[in-house]
Amino acid sequence: MNDGKHMSIAKAKPYFIERAKELEWMCTHGTPWVFLCTAALLDLLASMVTNECQNNGENFCHYKKEEECRRHRKNKNSRLQRGGGCRYQNFVKEYMPMAYSDFSYNDTDDNAKDLPRRMWNILRCGVIHNFSLTPGYRGEQDGLEAETETDIRRTIVLCHRKEVERKGWWHLCAYSVAERNAALFIAEDFVEDLRNVIVHIFAKAERDQELKRNIERWLKSHPPIAGGV
């Protein structure tokens, strides 16, 4: 039953681990829904550890010392700024395995290691909002950044383990398709990484009071939904 009551941090850890187990079950069925659910879980975790979601003011970005965040705070119309992209990307860099931040696209651009931005752009703005790998750009007339050539050229390919094991591919390997450079995401490995991140977050919260407060405040203002029969 969903009664709108907030969840304690003690109950939150097993709750989110159970949600990750459900994603493992979804992987066995080869359903595309697992990609939407993993993308949504990642976005939720990124919001929860900072107790922040959308940009509600000048100080929305938790990582105020980073040059990229300072630059985007100056531009309130920036799509990255308005959608919480700094929060999301810094979560990937801080909590996800280093392989995500170290991944390098197969092109010659200087900033080839921008997978955290691609993940926000494609998984959050594409898969969550549109159930598609194509983000829902509204265009400059809405005060948002238009799609760039780099956005078009770099993408993410989603698949299940059975699809790639016979071809010798692996999670987060570089992949090229239709003249576009891609990072290959294998559902089973992505789910495992998120499950490990959940365990790490709640273990860290036992000794990090700021993180604990952020999680408690998030759970109070955004009570997780529950299942039932």
Q: What is the mean pLDDT of residues 100-125?
A: 87
Task: Please report, to the nearest 10 degrees, the dihedral formed by the alpha carbons of residues 193, 60, 211, 125 taken in order.
Answer: -20
Task: Tell me: pLDDT of 78 over 70.
Answer: no
Q: Worst-scoring range by mean pLDDT, 1-5, 113-117, 169-173, 175-179?
A: 1-5
User: The pTM is what?
Assistant: 0.82
10 Å CB burial of residue 153 (0-12, 13-18, 19+) is middle
What's the mean pLDDT when you consider all of the chain? Answer: 82
Is the four-CA dihedral 83, 89, 91, 97 of positive or negative sign? Answer: positive
Query: Looking at residues 136-149, what average pLDDT do you find?
Result: 52
CB distance 53 to 59 below 8 Å: no
pLDDT band at 89 (very low <50, low <70, confident <90, very high): very high
C-alpha span between 209 and 202 (Å, rounded) = 11
Q: What is the pLDDT of residue 220?
A: 93
pLDDT for the residue 139: 42
Return the percentage of the chain with pLDDT > 70, whole number: 75
Which amino acid appears at position 101 of this protein? S
pLDDT digits (tens, 9 = 90+) for 194-205: 999 999 999 999
What integer pLDDT is reported at residue 2 of this predicted model?
59
Cβ 215 vs Cβ 12: under 8 Å = yes
Choose between 110 and 104: higher pLDDT.
Answer: 104
pLDDT-derived band at 19 (thresholds 50, 70, 90) equals: very high
Q: Check whether 170 has a pLDDT greater than 60.
A: yes
In this predicted structure, the answer to whether residue 186 has a pLDDT above a threshold of 90 is yes
pLDDT for 113 equals 87
CA–chain centroid gap for 63, Å, is 16
pLDDT tens readout for residues 25-60 = 999 999 999 999 999 999 999 999 999 864 444 444
Residues 6+ apart with CB under 8 A from 144: 77, 78, 79, 82, 137, 138
Residue 148: closest CA among 53, 46, 75, 80: 80
Task: For residue 116, give the nearest of 99, 140, 137 by alpha carbon.
Answer: 99
139-143: average pLDDT: 41
| Residue from 139, 114, 135 nearest 125 by CA | 135
Q: Rounded to whole angstroms, how far apart are CA atoms 208 and 29?
A: 38
